[in-house]
């Protein structure tokens, strides 16, 4: 026993040690058995544990370990072989399971560890999301603030309210100490303090606009931090003890109306800006956050828009007020003008009547006076009176006509008339003067000139008479030639009349009349003055009477007839040519028969009696021819007879007038008249009877009247006389005097 | 001056002289007025008629006055006719002679009548020549392409 060195001597089992081992093994077994139970319990509780079978494995391992330790309890004392076998089996099993578990854990633990990392990652992510949520919330709040601010700003169109509200709301939202708005002055060189938040009535501080800090702010559309010491920020004495709050300034563009174009939204190329300055409370150590700066920028833009709206509205209100004022003024002016025109027209109407009545009296009585017995001196005086009063009458007419022409109240009277007759009438009127002056007048009417035309006959004649009269007036000798033809379109356009655009049409033609004289001519520089009112050639105005209105009136008439009139002259002493073109209508064929004797009675111009059936009784062949010629010229349908028997045989209801020569010896015209009366008992069936006689004394006349003649004409009969006789006869059905 | 203007001038002067010398009066103008496109030869026709008629009347007058018993009523009638014709065309001088002739007729003054017949013939031939010359001038003017002036 003492000799064995390799192993310790077998010592008898110590009672104490054995006891402690026994107890520890027991507890270990207990623990080992309870751990799987706990695991199962908790795994059952949790739903997500992925590795169940690992748990089973682990459980098995622990149970077996526990079993091993439990079986160990029996190995402390003497034990049988069965226990040893069981113990060995348990140990073997435990070994297997534990090895398996160990191997398994090698795979599983990294997984479990990564779960942990994932968890950490998720936590970080959650934290990030939280942060972002916070940010979004702040932004949303900012947006809400802006919307509210905008709403406040845009709910009014009054500029002051807009600005005041902006400052108040900004002040409230951002908890500012002071907020101010600087507007550019009219000159644009300075910024003036216009609105502040805290101060009620800002005193008009101004700062020059060219400060570097201001330029800096104006050149950027962001809100920039500026120093609290710069002039725009030093609004009031420092409130806080230590440090002034941070100041931010932003530009507010003042958009001008013209910046708003429909298709282009304007770049901010406006020159004018206002400056908004915002100050955080001093001593607060607050900082401007980015989202607050963004809020300020947005607000500034909104303010700009609101201001422009307000400006536009102001502008349009102003424009509307201006327009209303102008409307009222215009209305007043128009009414005044109308009153003036009415007053003038009334005046003219009165003067027309008032002036003409005495003129009539003077002219009529002077004419009558002329017919009486007068000494040569008296005759001269009366003639002078007559001439002067005729002149005056013409003057009055001219002036009245011209004033009516000027205000456009003159309208052409369109009638169908005999164009050829107009020319011959004018000729008749001008012949006496021309023959006195020994001037030759030629009339050339083109063969294609229509005989009848539609237009204002009276005024055409007036124009023609004026032009021809001027030609005669200003010619001392030589000849005056009048040509009239239908103007073709090429000849209508004249370089001398650049704004005359004739438009030939179906129912109209252009009459071109040219009057050429060999008189004193006109200087080329005087030509433009010819048609102006009251302007007369100096050299002539003394010698010639007239108001200088004639050509002016002619021009107006010609213009009314859609034509043109002009005068050419090669110079003094070389005569001149007056030309006018007027537009006349072409009468329809059926209209020609409308030239009845009815409505034409009032006119005294070339009148005709187309188709008027008359009977001429005269035994003298020549007289008969001449009378027939006269009547045919007037358009009548003439039948001639040379004896009373023939007359009585032929006369019928169709004949409207019977002209009979009562100086026929042997054949009594008076008898014929009596017979005619007997033949036609009813008045309207009977033709009118007119006596032609060379004997003008009263007895003869009375005899004619006694036998029931309707009129007496003294031979020789002129065309005019015949015409007026027929006119009178047919109008009045009786003619007392035609001598 | 071109030919047309010259002819016109000639015509005008001649016509003026006729009026001035009393051969024609305003009635002739009236006749001229009655001449137009529809009646281009009116004057010539009437004047020709006058010539024919006057010659006939003058011959008749001569015949009647050669009679032994002069029928003054007839003479008066003829002279009346001639007066009417001449006044119709404006042969002023003829007409005047007719008027005085008629007075003689009323007085039944044979010598006076004869004298006036003589005068009448004279005046008639004068006016006939003048008128024929006038017409010739007008023809010349028209042939030369001018127009007859109206004045």
Residue A444: its H or E element? strand A440-445
Contact B8 A440 (CB under 8 A): yes
Mean per-residue pLDDT, A655-671: 75
Burial (CB count within 10 angstroms: exposed 0-12, middle 13-18, buried 19+), residue A46: exposed
Rounded-to-integer distance, Cα A391 and Cα A367, Å: 14
pLDDT band at A238 (very low <50, low <70, confident <90, very high): low
A residues 137-196 closer than 8 Å to B (CB): none
Rounded-to-integer distance, Cα A521 and Cα A568, Å: 9
- What is the 3-state secondary structure of chain B? CCHHHHHHHHHHHHHHHHHHCCCECHHHHHHHHHCECCECCHHHHHHHHHHHHHHHHHHHHHHHHHCCCCCHHHHHHHHHHHHHHHHHHCEHHHHHHHHHHHHHHHHCCHHHHHHHHHHHHHHHHHHHHHHHHHHHHHHHHHHCCCCCCCC
3-state secondary structure of A184: strand
Contact A625 B46 (CB under 8 A): yes
pLDDT band at A604 (very low <50, low <70, confident <90, very high): very low
Determine the distance in angstroms separating the CA of A444 from the nearest CA of chain B, rounded to an integer. Answer: 8
DSSP state of A684: T
Give Cα B129 distance to the centre of its chain: 9
Contacts of residue A595, defined as CB under 8 A and 6 or more positions apart, other chains included, come to A416, A418, A452, A608, A610
Determine the distance in angstroms separating the CA of B27 from the nearest CA of chain A, rounded to an integer. Answer: 7
Residue A313: its H or E element? helix A290-371
Rounded-to-integer distance, Cα A176 and Cα B146, Å: 111
Percent of chain A residues past pLDDT 90, beyond the cut:
5
pLDDT band at A478 (very low <50, low <70, confident <90, very high): confident
Q: Which of A397-401, B46-50, B75-79 has the lowest mean pLDDT?
A: A397-401
| pTM of the model as a whole | 0.38
State pLDDT tens for residues A676-706: 888 887 767 778 888 887 776 777 778 878 8
Contacts of residue A468, defined as CB under 8 A and 6 or more positions apart, other chains included, come to A426, A430, A441, A480, A482, A515
pLDDT band at A2 (very low <50, low <70, confident <90, very high): low
pLDDT band at A591 (very low <50, low <70, confident <90, very high): very low
Contact B84 A441 (CB under 8 A): no
Look over chain B and give the mean of its residue pLDDT values, rounded to a whole number: 86
Is the Cβ of A381 closer than 8 Å to some Cβ of chain B?
no
Is the Cβ of A437 closer than 8 Å to some Cβ of chain B?
no
- What residues pair up with A617 in beta bridges, in sequence order? A641, A660
Contacts of residue A72, defined as CB under 8 A and 6 or more positions apart, other chains included, come to A25, A87
Q: What is the pLDDT of residue A738?
A: 46
Evaluate whether A311 touches A257 at the Cβ level (below 8 Å).
yes
Q: Is the peptide bond before A716 cis (omega within 30 degrees of 0)?
A: yes
Residue A543 has pLDDT above 50, yes or no: no
Residue A472 with chain B: CB contacts under 8 Å: none
More confident site: A602 or A737: A737
Q: What is the pLDDT of residue B51?
A: 92
Q: Which of A228-237, A365-374, A464-473, A581-590 has the lowest mean pLDDT?
A: A228-237
Is the Cβ of A234 closer than 8 Å to some Cβ of chain B?
no
Contact B50 A622 (CB under 8 A): yes
State pLDDT tens for residues A166-223: 888 888 888 888 888 888 887 777 888 888 887 766 666 788 888 888 888 888 888 8
Is the Cβ of B32 closer than 8 Å to some Cβ of chain A?
no
Residue A663 with chain B: CB contacts under 8 Å: 80, 84
State pLDDT tens for residues A87-136: 888 888 888 888 888 888 888 788 878 888 898 999 999 999 999 999 89
Residue B100 has pLDDT above 50, yes or no: yes
Burial (CB count within 10 angstroms: exposed 0-12, middle 13-18, buried 19+), residue A356: middle
pLDDT band at B12 (very low <50, low <70, confident <90, very high): confident
Evaluate whether A698 touches A667 at the Cβ level (below 8 Å).
no
For residue A348 the two structure tokens come to 């003219």
Q: Which of A429-433, A495-499, B100-104 has the lowest mean pLDDT?
A: A495-499
Residue A438 with chain B: CB contacts under 8 Å: 16
Give Cα A87 distance to the centre of its chain: 119
Residue A435 with chain B: CB contacts under 8 Å: 16, 151
For residue A261 the two structure tokens come to 């174009």
Evaluate whether A253 touches A304 at the Cβ level (below 8 Å).
yes
Residue B143 has pLDDT above 70, yes or no: yes
Contact B30 A719 (CB under 8 A): yes
Rounded-to-integer distance, Cα A448 and Cα A464, Å: 20
| Most confident of the ranges A60-64, A326-330, A729-733 | A326-330
Contact B36 A633 (CB under 8 A): yes
* Whole-complex ipTM: 0.82
Pairing relationship of beta strands A440-445 and A479-487 according to DSSP bridges:
parallel
A residues 458-487 closer than 8 Å to B (CB): 479
Contact B84 A716 (CB under 8 A): no
Is the Cβ of A696 closer than 8 Å to some Cβ of chain B?
no
3-state secondary structure of A248: strand
User: Residue A575's closest CA among A567, A583, A564?
Assistant: A567
User: Residue A280's closest CA among A226, A325, A244?
Assistant: A244
For residue A588 the two structure tokens come to 């329809």
Determine the distance in angstroms separating the CA of A533 from the nearest CA of chain B, rounded to an integer. Answer: 31
For residue A649 the two structure tokens come to 């045989």
Residue A598 has pLDDT above 50, yes or no: no
Residue A290 has pLDDT above 90, yes or no: no
Residues belonging to chain A: 739
């Amino acid at each position: 026993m003492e000799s064995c060195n390799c192993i310790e001597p077998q010592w008898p089992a110590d009672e104490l040690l054995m006891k402690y081992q026994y107890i520890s093994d027991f507890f270990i077994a207990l623990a080992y058995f309870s751990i799987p139970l706990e695991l199962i319990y908790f795994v059952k509780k949790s739903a997500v544990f992925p590795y169940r079978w690992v748990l089973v494995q682990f459980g098995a391992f622990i149970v077996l370990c526990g079993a091993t330790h439990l079986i160990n309890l029996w190995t402390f004392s003497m034990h049988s072989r069965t226990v040893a076998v069981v113990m060995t089996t348990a140990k073997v099993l435990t070994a297997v399971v534990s090895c398996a578990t160990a191997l398994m854990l090698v795979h599983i633990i990294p997984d479990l560890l990564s779960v942990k990392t994932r968890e950490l990652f998720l936590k970080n992510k959650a934290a990030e999301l939280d942060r972002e949520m916070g940010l979004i919330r702040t932004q949303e709040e900012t947006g809400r603030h802006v919307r509210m601010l905008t709403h406040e700003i845009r709910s009014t169109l009054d500029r002051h309210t807009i600005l005041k509200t902006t400052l108040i709301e900004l002040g409230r939202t951002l908890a500012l100490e002071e907020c101010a708005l600087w507007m550019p002055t009219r000159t644009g060189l300075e910024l003036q303090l216009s609105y502040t938040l805290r101060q009620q009535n800002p005193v008009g501080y101004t700062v020059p606009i060219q400060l570097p800090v201001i330029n800096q702010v104006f050149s950027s559309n962001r809100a920039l931090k500026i120093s609290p010491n710069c002039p725009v920020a030093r609004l009031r004495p420092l409130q806080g003890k230590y440090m002034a709050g941070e100041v931010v300034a932003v530009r507010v563009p003042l958009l001008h109306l013209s910046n708003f174009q429909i298709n282009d939204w304007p770049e901010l190329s406006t020159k004018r800006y206002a400056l908004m300055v915002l100050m955080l409370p001093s001593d607060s150590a607050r900082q401007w956050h980015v989202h607050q700066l963004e809020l300020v920028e947005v607000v500034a833009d909104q303010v700009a828009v609101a201001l422009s709206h307000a400006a536009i509205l102001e502008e349009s209100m102003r424009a509307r007020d201006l327009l209303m004022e102008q409307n009222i003024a215009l209305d007043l002016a128009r009414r005044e003008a109308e009153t003036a025109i009415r007053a003038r027209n009334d005046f003219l109407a009165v003067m027309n009547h008032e002036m003409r009545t005495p003129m009539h009296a003077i002219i009529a009585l002077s004419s009558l006076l002329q017919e009486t017995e007068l000494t040569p001196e008296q005759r001269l005086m009366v003639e002078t009176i007559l001439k002067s009063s005729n002149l005056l009458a013409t003057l009055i007419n001219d002036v009245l006509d011209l004033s009516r022409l000027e205000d456009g109240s003159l309208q052409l009277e369109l009638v169908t008339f005999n164009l050829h007759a107009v020319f011959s009438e004018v000729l008749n009127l001008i012949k006496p003067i021309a023959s006195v002056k020994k001037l030759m007048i030629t009339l050339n009417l083109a063969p294609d000139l229509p005989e009848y035309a539609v237009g204002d006959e009276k005024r055409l004649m007036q124009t023609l008479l004026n032009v021809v009269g001027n030609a005669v007036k200003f010619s001392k000798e030589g000849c005056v030639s009048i040509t009239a033809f239908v103007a073709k379109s090429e000849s209508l356009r004249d370089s001398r009349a650049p704004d005359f655009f004739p438009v030939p049409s179906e129912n109209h033609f252009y009459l071109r009349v040219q009057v050429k004289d060999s008189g004193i001519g006109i200087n080329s520089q005087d030509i433009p003055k010819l048609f102006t009112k009251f302007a007369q050639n100096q050299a002539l105005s003394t010698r010639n009477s007239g108001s200088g209105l004639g050509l002016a009136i002619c021009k107006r008439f010609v213009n009314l007839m859609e034509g043109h009139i002009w005068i050419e002259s090669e110079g003094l002493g070389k005569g001149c040519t007056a030309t006018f073109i007027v537009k006349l209508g072409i009468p329809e064929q059926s209209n020609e028969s409308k030239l009845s004797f009815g409505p034409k009675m009032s006119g005294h111009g070339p009148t005709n009696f187309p188709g008027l059936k008359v009977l001429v009784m005269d035994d003298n062949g020549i007289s008969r021819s001449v009378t027939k010629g006269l009547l045919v010229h007037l358009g009548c349908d003439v039948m001639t007879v040379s004896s009373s028997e023939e007359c009585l045989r032929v006369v019928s209801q169709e004949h409207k007038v019977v002209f009979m020569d009562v100086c026929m010896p042997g054949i009594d015209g008076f008898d014929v008249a009596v017979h005619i009366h007997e033949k036609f008992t009813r008045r309207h069936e009977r033709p009118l009877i007119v006596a032609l006689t060379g004997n003008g004394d009263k007895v003869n006349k009375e005899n004619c009247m006694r036998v029931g003649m309707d009129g007496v004409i003294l031979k020789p009969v002129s065309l005019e006389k015949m015409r007026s006789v027929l006119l009178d006869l047919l109008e009045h059905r009786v003619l007392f005097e035609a001598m | 001056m071109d030919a047309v203007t010259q002819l016109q001038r000639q015509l005008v002067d001649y016509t003026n002289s006729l009026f001035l010398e009393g051969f024609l009066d305003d009635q002739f103008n009236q006749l001229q007025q009655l001449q137009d496109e529809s009646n281009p030869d009116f004057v010539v026709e009437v004047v020709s008629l006058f010539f024919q008629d006057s010659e006939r009347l003058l011959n008749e007058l001569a015949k009647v006055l050669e009679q032994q018993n002069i029928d003054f009523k007839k003479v008066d009638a003829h002279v009346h006719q001639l007066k009417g014709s001449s006044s119709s065309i404006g042969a002023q001088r003829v007409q005047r002679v007719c008027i005085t002739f008629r007075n003689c007729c009323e007085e039944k003054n044979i010598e006076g009548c004869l004298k006036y017949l003589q005068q009448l013939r004279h005046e008639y031939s004068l006016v006939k020549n003048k008128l024929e010359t006038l017409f010739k001038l007008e023809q010349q003017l028209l042939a030369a392409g001018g127009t007859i002036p109206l004045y």
